[in-house]
Amino acid sequence: MDSSIGRVAWDRPAAAAYVSAAGDAAALLGAAKDHAHTVAGIDLSGLGTLGNGFAAAWASAWTTHGGHLRTASALTGAYGQAITRWGNTLGGVDTESAARIAGAVPGIDEIQA
């Protein structure tokens, strides 16, 4: 919002670029989440009795990391969707306003003598 003139200026190319980047980032975060869960499941049984604590901490840390990546992916994707919906809403308002303005003033062809 430009406070100096009190109106919203929607930058469609910038919004489209963000939505594209957000989609790519969400996909990468989702893939990283899948890899984190794979790492969490690595068999560390060869560490023996002394390594049991480490193996449990390893699995827990990577599972937690995977959860954070899942959340980041969901939030990034949702924000991109919100930007798209907001742009569509503004476009609809602009179209409706333009139609109302056009209908409020008779055109040259509508002037009756």
Helix (H, G, I), strand (E, B) or coil at 3: coil
Render the burial of 46-62: b for 16+ CB within 10 Å, e for the rest.
Answer: eeeeeeeeebeebeeeb
Count of C-beta atoms within a 10 Å radius of residue 11 = 10
The whole-number pLDDT of residue 73 equals 94
So where are the chain's domains? 12-98
Q: What is the pLDDT of residues 32-61, one digit of tens each?
A: 999 999 999 999 989 888 899 999 999 999
The whole-number pLDDT of residue 1 equals 47
Q: Rounded to whole angstroms, what are the CA distances from 27 to 62, 69, 73, 89, 111?
A: 19, 11, 7, 26, 57
64 pLDDT above the threshold of 90: yes
| Residue bearing tokens 């023996």 | 48
